[in-house]
């Protein structure tokens, strides 16, 4: 595809008398036109018209005054909101059979998951010139420019800059469709990856679980392990299962099936009559799904001259932080001496040497002293259905300090639905749709693990509503990066006992601080593995699934040996590669540790506030919208993103 980069000179001829080229100016009418023309020329192709036609388009569609520019901004924001939200509503409706419980999806339901109503959005708006109109008057600014120039920008100027990101590149619909297909395929694979716990056998043939418990990998397996600190044999069993999954040694017959019994220690499979049966391993399906994502992204790479790798697009684009900045933050924390001291404290409390799965130790949580069965009895009675949880949400917000009218308004924009998978939050794209809280509820009602996850998702939904419905600019709706909505989810999740039993939480207590830093330790490790796996993929673009598997196991072991083996033991452990996000959400994992860092800084900022003050400050902070991470944090707490506050608090907590 030929781009008209040389036409920049033609474009500038029409503005030389009245405007000066300035690529580092703020997005004001008199200073950014040549910037917009340059960016537009880079996206214009022969199919869009001749050089003369492009020059005429620039001359005819330049905004001459601030008033004219703002009026155009409102028109374009309305167009984008209208198209994207109704496309999103269509997609949500089509996905209901495969994402929600109730009916078994048919073949057409699975096939439609790879369809995207927005696949042609960019193509169509470049074809009808709306995209060019946008780029011309609202040019794109780099992350570095936003961080430096944004200090002096008004809310209008921030909104204009965000509008400039919408058409910063021109990727054909066919290339985008491949990404959608890879995502849908991996999501379906993970959504049905359950382990039937009653059918797990010890080496001597015993069953450790009596009930028909179906646990999704990795989320439910991890949460079950965390709840089994009174039964280390169960923990060891789950650890063995996880390793078989990572190494792709798990027999294909036992995945999402109650037909066979399986001993993870010996990897033998047995029929209902107790006879051993031949069972092939799952092959390398897990890593085939990751490769499918990579190959889809390679197609997109060809058209993204601004960010030619998925790594850049994920970090500098979506997360608005460079991969190097993020990895530096993570390695500084996981190698800190404070973590060794926390590990020693856990070892002392458990009265044994630590095992790799103690990365999920939850003894710092106040609820660890409360029986899981007792908590589940409460949640099952209170939340027998998704509708019961939805009806209780306004009360939860009031408990946190939100004014009744505000609580009701927020909850009116959230719907709770029964998830087929582990549960998730689906944000509203526009102000005519609701944010969706998907949660897993058994016929017997919501168990405590499900409740804890649902409160986490409720934190996502609250942020999604506040940053959209209570925002002064549609183009600023949202947050700087996914980690910031994770921070909101963590804020809510840490208060789940308060919302369930009235037991007040203290997010800045020594126990809570230690819980948070140990959680950071865990999630930063899996994030480093994910990041380095993708770096390896780009360095080895011809890799097979088998080669990717071996590389991932090696990377996981290297990260483990460098930062985890000194505390948790077992040299060469691959446990950090268990997260399902690596399969169905490429490079999403680093959002969690960023979220925990942001969450702690917010907790420290909110410390000593009364509930009503806490809720008011929450609203102020999350109404800021999608600024850059550092600009958002400066507005929220007065300081940029840093791990030093949590390390300082950890030192104090250990004393």
Name residues whose C-beta falls within 8 Å of residue 197's C-beta, 6 or more positions apart in sequence.
208, 209, 211, 213, 214, 215, 224
Cα–Cα distance for residue pair 344/339, rounded to 1 Å: 9
CA-CA-CA-CA dihedral for 236, 238, 243, 246, to nearest 10? -160
pLDDT tens across 121-143, in order?
999 999 999 999 999 999 999 99
The pLDDT of residue 14 is 32
The pLDDT of residue 312 is 95
Give phi and psi for 214, each to the nearest 5. -105, 115
N- to C-terminal Cα distance for the chain? 64
- Token digits of residue 441: 């509820």
Evaluate the omega torsion of the peptide bond into residue 120 and state whether it is cis, within 30 degrees of 0. no
Cα–Cα distance for residue pair 234/220, rounded to 1 Å: 14
This prediction's pTM = 0.82
Q: Are 286 and 245 in contact (CB under 8 A)?
A: yes
- Token digits of residue 178: 């491949």
Categorize the per-residue pLDDT at 33 as very low, low, confident or very high, splitting at 50, 70 and 90.
low
pLDDT tens across 140-184, in order?
999 999 999 999 999 999 999 999 999 999 988 888 889 989 998
pLDDT for 207 beyond 70: yes
- In the chain, where are the structural domains located? 5-166, 189-246+249-282, 286-354+508-594, 366-507+607-624
Q: What percent of the chain has pLDDT over 90?
A: 82
Cα–Cα distance for residue pair 549/517, rounded to 1 Å: 30
Average pLDDT, the chain: 91
Q: What percent of the chain has pLDDT over 70?
A: 94
- Token digits of residue 333: 């924390």
pLDDT for 604 beyond 90: no
Which uninterrupted H or E stretch holds 454? helix 448-469
Mean pLDDT of 433-442: 94
The pLDDT of residue 504 is 81
- Token digits of residue 590: 């680093």
Beta bridge partners, 424, equal 438
Q: Where in 209-258 does DSSP place strands (E)?
A: 214-216
Mean pLDDT of 103-110: 92
Q: Where in 475-579 does DSSP place strands (E)?
A: none
- Where helices occur in 150-218 by DSSP H, the ranges are 155-163, 173-191
Going by C-alpha positions, the residue among 100, 87, 95 that lies closest to residue 111 is 95
The pLDDT of residue 503 is 82
């Amino acid at each position: 595809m030929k781009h008209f980069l040389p036409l920049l000179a033609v474009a500038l001829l029409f503005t030389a008398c009245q405007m000066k080229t300035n690529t580092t100016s703020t997005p004001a009418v008199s200073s950014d036109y040549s910037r917009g023309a340059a960016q537009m020329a880079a996206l214009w192709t022969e199919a869009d018209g001749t050089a003369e036609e492009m020059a005429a388009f620039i001359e005819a569609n330049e905004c001459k005054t601030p008033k004219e520019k703002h009026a155009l901004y409102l028109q374009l924001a309305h167009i984008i909101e209208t198209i994207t939200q109704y496309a999103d509503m269509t997609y949500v409706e089509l996905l209901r059979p495969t994402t929600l419980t109730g009916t078994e999806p048919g073949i057409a339901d699975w096939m439609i998951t790879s369809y995207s109503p927005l696949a042609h959005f960019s193509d169509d708006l470049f074809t009808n010139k709306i995209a060019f109109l946008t780029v011309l008057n609202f040019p794109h600014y780099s992350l570095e420019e936003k961080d430096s120039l944004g200090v002096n920008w008004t809310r209008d100027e921030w909104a204009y800059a965000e509008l400039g990101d919408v058409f910063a590149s021109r990727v054909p619909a066919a290339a985008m469709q491949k990404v959608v297909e890879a995502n849908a395929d991996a999501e379906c694979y993970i959504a049905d990856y359950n382990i039937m716990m009653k059918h797990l056998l010890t080496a001597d043939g015993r069953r450790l679980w009596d009930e028909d418990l179906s646990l999704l990998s990795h989320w439910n397996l991890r949460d079950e392990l965390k709840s089994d600190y009174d039964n280390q044999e169960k923990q060891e069993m789950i650890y063995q299962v996880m390793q078989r999954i990572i190494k792709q040694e798990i027999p294909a017959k036992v995945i999402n099936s109650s037909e066979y019994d399986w001993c993870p220690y010996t990897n033998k499979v047995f029929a209902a009559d107790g006879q051993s049966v031949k069972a092939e391993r799952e092959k390398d399906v897990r890593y085939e799904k990751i490769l499918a994502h990579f190959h889809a992204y390679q197609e997109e790479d060809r058209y993204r001259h601004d960010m030619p790798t998925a790594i850049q697009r994920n970090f500098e684009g979506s997360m608005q932080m460079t991969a190097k900045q993020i990895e530096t933050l993570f390695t500084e924390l996981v190698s800190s001496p404070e973590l060794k001291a926390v590990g020693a404290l856990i070892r002392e409390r458990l009265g044994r040497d630590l095992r790799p799965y103690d990365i999920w130790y939850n003894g710092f949580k106040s609820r660890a002293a409360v029986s899981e069965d007792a908590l589940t009895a409460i949640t099952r009675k209170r939340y027998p259905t998704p509708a019961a949880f939805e009806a209780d949400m306004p009360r939860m917000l009031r408990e946190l300090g939100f004014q009744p009218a505000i609580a009701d308004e927020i909850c009116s924009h959230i719907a709770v639905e029964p998830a087929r998978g582990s549960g998730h939050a689906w944000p509203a794209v526009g102000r005519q749709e609701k944010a969706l809280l998907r949660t897993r509820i058994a016929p017997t009602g919501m168990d405590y693990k499900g409740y804890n996850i649902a409160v986490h998702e409720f934190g996502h939904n609250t942020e999604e509503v506040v940053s959209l419905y209570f925002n002064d600019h549609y183009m600023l709706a949202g947050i700087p990066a996914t980690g910031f909505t994770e921070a909101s989810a963590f804020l809510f999740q840490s208060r789940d006992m308060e919302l369930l039993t009235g037991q007040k939480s203290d997010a800045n207590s020594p126990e809570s601080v230690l819980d948070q830093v140990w959680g950071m330790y865990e999630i930063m490790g899996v994030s480093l593995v994910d990041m380095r796996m993708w770096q390896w993929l780009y360095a080895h673009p011809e890799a097979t699934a088998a080669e990717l598997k071996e590389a991932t196991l090696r990377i996981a072991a290297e990260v483990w040996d460098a930062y985890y083996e000194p505390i948790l033991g077992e040299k060469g452990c691959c446990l950090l590669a268990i997260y399902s996000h690596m399969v169905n959400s490429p490079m999403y994992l680093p959002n969690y540790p960023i979220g925990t860092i942001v969450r702690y800084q917010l907790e420290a900022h909110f410390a000593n506030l009364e509930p009503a003050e806490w809720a008011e400050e929450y609203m102020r902070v999350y109404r800021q919208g999608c600024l850059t991470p550092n600009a958002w944090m400066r507005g929220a707490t007065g300081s940029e993103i840093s791990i030093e506050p949590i390390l300082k608090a950890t030192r104090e907590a250990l004393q």
